[in-house]
Amino acid sequence: MSATEPYHADHLAWMVLALDEARLALKTDDVPIGAVVLGPDGGVLGSGRNEREAHGDPTAHAEVVAIRQAAASLRERAQAAGGPGDGWRLEDCTLVVTLEPCAMCAGAIVLARIPRVVFGAWDEKAGAVGSVFDILRERRLNHWVEVYAGVREDECAALLRDFFATHRLG
């Protein structure tokens, strides 16, 4: 796995919000992964959880749901202030997610211009932030991301382990 930045106390608190979202995914029998997008002021612009099972949508990963919601929030704020506001550039924002993003989500992060990602557990099978690939820090791309990994890693990993253990038995 690739080296990451040391994380900060704020990251611990923000991960609690992502864990809360992850637990909500259990209600729809989705894999418990949660995400939040925080604005420059630390306020939540968007939140999401896996909703693939709930909506039958393979792209409804927690990160994508949170990014879409954050972009809509920024667009609404800009329009309320009288500006056009494209909303899709999430510059100065931070994405916090309970599991290392996959290739699809890492691509969405790069395209949304999110400069910081904080994640909990590593994904040895599909992770695209150091485990299998490292899309967020790929120098050939036009945007690079600071990565803070392993934040509340044990809690994030336990939630996933418990979910999959229960589903293997059932």
Binding residues: 61, 102, 105
Q: Which amino acid is at 64?
A: V
| Rounded alpha-carbon distances, angstroms, from residue 35 to 32, 58, 133, 166 | 10, 17, 20, 23
> How far is it, in rounded angstroms, from Cα 3 to Cα 18?
22
Q: Which of 51, 63, 76, 146 is catalytic?
A: 63
d(CA 68, CA 41): 19
- Annotated active-site residue 100? The verdict is no
| Cα–Cα dist 96/36, whole Å | 5
Closest among 155, 119, 160, 143 to 11, alpha carbons compared: 119
Tokens 């954050």 belong to residue: 70
Q: Which residues are annotated as a binding site for Zn(2+)?
A: 61, 102, 105
What is the length of the chain?
Answer: 170
Question: In whole angstroms, what is the distance from residue 64 CA to residue 29 CA?
Answer: 18
Q: Which positions are annotated as active-site residues?
A: 63
